[in-house]
Amino acid sequence: MGVKLGDLKNFLADADRRNITDLSVQTWVRELRDTMYDATNILDLCQLKAMEQGPRGDIGCLNPLLFCMQNPLHAHDIGKRIKNLNQRLDGIKERSESFNFINLRSYEDHGRSTVPSDSYNRETSGELNECGLVGEKIKEDARNLVEMLTKDEQTLCEYNKIMVFAIVGVGGIGKTTLAQKFFNDDAIQQEFTKKIWLSVNQDFNEVELLRRAISGAGGDHHATGDIKAMLERTLKEAVKGHKTLLVMDDVWDHHAWEGVLKTPLFNSLDQGSRVLVTTRHENVARGMKAVEPYHHVDRLEPEDAWSLLKKQVVRNENDEPKIDMLKDIGMGIIAKCDGLPLAVKVMGGLLCQKRTRRGDWENVLNDSVWSVSQMPKELNNAIYLSYQDLHPSLKACFLHYSLLPKSTVLFLHDIVGMWICEGFVHGNSRELEELGKEYYEELILRNLIEPNRSYVDQLACNMHDVVRSFAQYVSRDEALVTHNSEIGIIGATNPLKLLRLSLETEGSKPSELEWSSLKAYTSLRTLISVGHIKIKPGDSLAYFSSLRSIHIQSIEFDALAKSLCQLRHLRYLSIQYTNTSRLPENIGKMKFLQHINLTGCENLIKLPSSIVKLQQLRYLNLNGTSINNIPRGFGGLTNLRKLYGFPAHIDGDWCSLEELGPLSHLIRLHITGLENVHSVSFATKARIDEKMCLSYLLLSCTSRHRDDGRMVKEEECISEKEQQQIEDLFDELCPPTCLEFLQFRGYFGRQLPRWMRLPTVEPLGCLRLLMLEDLPCCTELPDGLCRLPCLEFLQILRAPAMKYIGPEFLHSPDNLGSVVKAEVLKSPDLERISNLPKLTNLFISLCPRMKILEGVPALQILKLQDYVMETLPRYLQEVNPRHLQLHCSLSLLTSIATGKSSPEWEKFSHIQQVKAYAHDYDNGIPRKFYVFYTRDPSNFQTNISPSAYDSDKEIDDD
């Protein structure tokens, strides 16, 4: 069985490539994968049998199978199943010969070894099509690019003679259109004596690329034939002494620059020459040594997308009123396009073929036009190329990501946990989490998923709807994703085919979906459910005996808990925000469990004692539960990598912190309730400083703050004894030198731990992110933070006693010199932020006494938030960010809306771009008002009516 599977898997990479477009291959691929899944089930059962027999069956990778064969009854059952599998494999292998598959090495090792024979090469030029331009955003982006590429860089580094800049984004987002807008800008015409546009594409030819570069530079490539050296010499002569702009559009491999064009151009171009590359992959920009930060293209705003759609469908002046009548349907179509300009354009092309009638447009909106089989080829290829370029393991992760419910934020550790438990991550067991994180980051670099800006360190991501639809189509034979309005299709699908089911029933009525309606899906390996499902007495998880992964959120799970242990193959268990009050006492028998997430299960008050038998457990999250103690023997779970919400508690002469000592493989650790520990000796036994894999550490005490940053009860003062006690305890929780992310929550010491105050701060040499939340007694940051070479992000939330951030004196040798982003929130006594020379992004919220902001020369983005703010702070006149975003009171926004006549004008008029917002309610309906200001070229917009400037009358939208 193993030999036959190995032979067939060598063809699977090629079959997978053809699976999307060749219908005859799809059945074959599905049968092979089903057989592979059945094989893993057999191996699971053998492994489980060996584990149940104790340590004897746990030596050597083949031993579980051989051990099981010693049991006659078990051997007969397993042998029969293997025989049946071998017969199926014989048939599959025989049929494979008719497809003439190419052996692309083993499936796991296959990377981007071939380009599909039907690959799609899109030829672009520098000519600008005005039909693709909508909204102010693209004009602003083009102006920013012009400014970046034309400003003088005074540097002694000869390498900067040619500087490379990058535009990065998912396929179809508008990178080429932006580059064309920039390429045709008047300032660019005057700045560069030669301009070259090269459409590179995925399967570029080196000789052809050189020829087109010569032609673009005005040289003669015909006289040099096909000899690369001769073409390089001709290109050098064509551009010699010229200040040149080279645009390389749609680059997939940095070799197009580093290995082909850079050498002939480097010694011949004039100082100030520039290269602009557009790419889907940040690694390409990195390989070309492009200037950071790269320019990321954002999706279209809904109104801009509507303008673009209208440009595609309006034929003449008489059409426009008819089209405007269909805007409500059009906006629904745009929502499905998810701000992707290419999707809007191709949907516009589709609507052009329809009559301008509501029924026709509604058919487009409601029809399944988002499947690859029916989408226009241009959009299909835009996403397909990105998918086909992925390693097979990455393809599986990408397709799995499309199953995740849109309405719910799933974090990196949960997603990677699912991938590991599904078997998508291949590598040494000790490094699976790190490999999974690399896969996740690779999808980000390829712009197939994009970081959610509400979370630090790329902890959560979004996926474009168009990209999601493509992925769901590719995995249609194995997976089904349903939403509220589509729940009815569950009964219409073939349950025996499905391996993965994702249900999103948020807000639906309890009676709409019953748990029993799912029981026919006996082949499921993954079940994801968010929202309400009606569960009746007698309902069980045992329907799904093959489940590897179950993620259930916000449903009545308690009735199902007792059947949990019947899921013998289960590796991933996430039951977040459910009413679960207990876990099975015999959970220790679920030998394969690797990931348990109990976040938000408030009714859960204890862990079963047998949990200490789960030797495969890698992840445990107790955040938001009522669990305040853990069973003794917990330290035996030495395979744990991530542990959240671990409660610190004392029972006689035993403290739970002792159980952390043996857990040497921890990567992320969150300890709660540290105020309960009264002896520093217990903290020493946790051996935090010895955990040489630890990258994230959160130390928390129970918060004593209200949401406004003040104490819960002013009279409940914290005694000096308590403060000294917590300080001594934290002093003993010194992290290892590899720590990258440190967070304190509820710490009530007067000063931060001594390992943050030492002159060298050696334990924090790798620290990148520091978050301090609920610090009622801490008055200042230690000077030691000025000596952290890698600190990038600083967040301070609810620190009512803190008055300043950064050294007191400007030009001090000690400054927070590495911090590029900072957030200060709900710190009512804060007065000054100073000496952050590399700070580019600053967010200040609800800090009413803030008076001084200085020593921030690199500041680019400043965001201020205070909805009772009546005047702008005067420190705005002392700083010069490129962008200011303001959320303030309606009265202040009304004053700002008067423009030059406003008393606030001098405080913000020197800033290049200002976006200010305020909120109001009209009969309970929220309304959003705004002022948009651009300094150069001058532009001022607002939806506040002039009548509001001199009166307190009701403010209406224009």
Which DSSP string corresponds to 185-206? -HHHHHH-SEEEEEEEETT--H
For 191-237, how does the pLDDT look when each residue is reduced to its tens digit (9 = 90+)? 899 999 999 988 788 988 998 999 899 887 676 667 888 898 899 99
Cβ(139)–Cβ(263) below 8 Å: no
Q: Which fold has domain 136-296?
A: Rossmann fold (3.40.50)
- The pLDDT-based confidence of 954 (bands split at 50, 70, 90) is very low
- The pLDDT-based confidence of 920 (bands split at 50, 70, 90) is confident
For 79-98, how does the pLDDT look when each residue is reduced to its tens digit (9 = 90+)? 788 888 888 878 877 777 77
Indicate the residue type of 408. Answer: T
Using CA atoms, how far apart are residues 238 and 82, in angstroms rounded to an integer?
Answer: 68
| pLDDT for residue 170 | 84
CB atoms inside a 10 Å sphere around CB 387: 20
Q: Which runs of consecutive H residues, i.e. helices, occur in 694-772?
A: 720-731
CB atoms inside a 10 Å sphere around CB 407: 14
226 to each of 207, 222, 229, 267, how far by Cα in Å? 6, 9, 9, 22
Q: Any idea which of 73-87, 100-114, 142-156 has the lowest mean pLDDT?
A: 100-114
- The pLDDT-based confidence of 488 (bands split at 50, 70, 90) is low
For 277-288, how does the pLDDT look when each residue is reduced to its tens digit (9 = 90+)? 999 889 899 999
* Strand extents, DSSP E, 465-611: 479-482, 500-505, 526-531, 549-553, 572-576, 595-597
Percent of the chain, pLDDT > 70?
83
CB atoms inside a 10 Å sphere around CB 232: 20
- The pLDDT-based confidence of 473 (bands split at 50, 70, 90) is confident
Q: Any idea which of 57-71, 177-191, 422-436, 756-770 has the lowest mean pLDDT?
A: 57-71
Tokens of 51: 């584990």
Indicate the residue type of 90. Answer: D
Asked if residue 145 has pLDDT above 60, the reply is yes
Asked if residue 374 has pLDDT above 80, the reply is no
| pLDDT for residue 483 | 76
Q: What is the mean pLDDT of the chain?
A: 83
Strands 804-805 and 793-797: unpaired
* Ordered DSSP codes for 93-158: HHHHGGGT----S-TTT--S----TT-------S---GGG--HHHHHHHHHHHHHHHHS----S-G
Using CA atoms, how far apart are residues 818 and 809, in angstroms rounded to an integer?
Answer: 17
Indicate the residue type of 776. Answer: P
Asked if residue 747 has pLDDT above 90, the reply is yes
Determine if residue 625 is left, alpha or beta; phi over 0 gives left, psi from -120 to 50 gives alpha, anything else beta: beta
Cβ(884)–Cβ(864) below 8 Å: yes
Mean per-residue pLDDT, 172-200:
90
SS (H, E, C) 893-913: HHHHCCHHHCCCHHHHCCCCE
Q: Which fold has domain 392-476?
A: Arc Repressor Mutant, subunit A (1.10.10)
More confident of the two residues 823 and 91? 823
Single pTM value for the model: 0.80
For 918, the 3-state DSSP assignment is strand
Asked if residue 115 has pLDDT above 50, the reply is no
| pLDDT for residue 157 | 43
Mean per-residue pLDDT, 536-559:
89
Q: Which of 19-23, 152-156, 636-640 shows the highest mean pLDDT? A: 636-640
Which residue has tokens 């590495």?
A: 818
| pLDDT for residue 583 | 93
574 to each of 61, 526, 583, 619, how far by Cα in Å? 29, 12, 12, 11
Q: Any idea which of 67-76, 103-112, 125-134, 447-456 has the lowest mean pLDDT?
A: 103-112
Using CA atoms, how far apart are residues 85 and 905, in angstroms rounded to an integer?
Answer: 77
Tokens of 926: 């929220």
| pLDDT for residue 21 | 60
Mean per-residue pLDDT, 907-934:
86
SS (H, E, C) 208-228: HHHHHHHHHCCCCCHHHCCCH
* Ordered DSSP codes for 353-378: TS-SSHHHHHHHHHS-TTSTTTS-HH
919: which strand partners? Answer: 928
Cβ(13)–Cβ(110) below 8 Å: yes
Asked if residue 112 has pLDDT above 70, the reply is no
Number of H helices and E strands in the chain, helices first, is: 27, 32
CB atoms inside a 10 Å sphere around CB 610: 17
Q: Any idea which of 10-24, 25-39, 502-516, 648-662 has the lowest mean pLDDT?
A: 10-24
430 to each of 329, 424, 435, 666, 944, how far by Cα in Å? 52, 15, 10, 11, 59
Using CA atoms, how far apart are residues 894 and 907, in angstroms rounded to an integer?
Answer: 15
Q: Which of 94-108, 180-194, 637-651 shows the highest mean pLDDT? A: 637-651
For 589-643, how does the pLDDT look when each residue is reduced to its tens digit (9 = 90+)? 999 999 999 999 999 999 999 999 999 999 999 999 999 999 999 999 999 999 9
For 337-353, how does the pLDDT look when each residue is reduced to its tens digit (9 = 90+)? 878 887 787 778 778 77
More confident of the two residues 61 and 303? 303
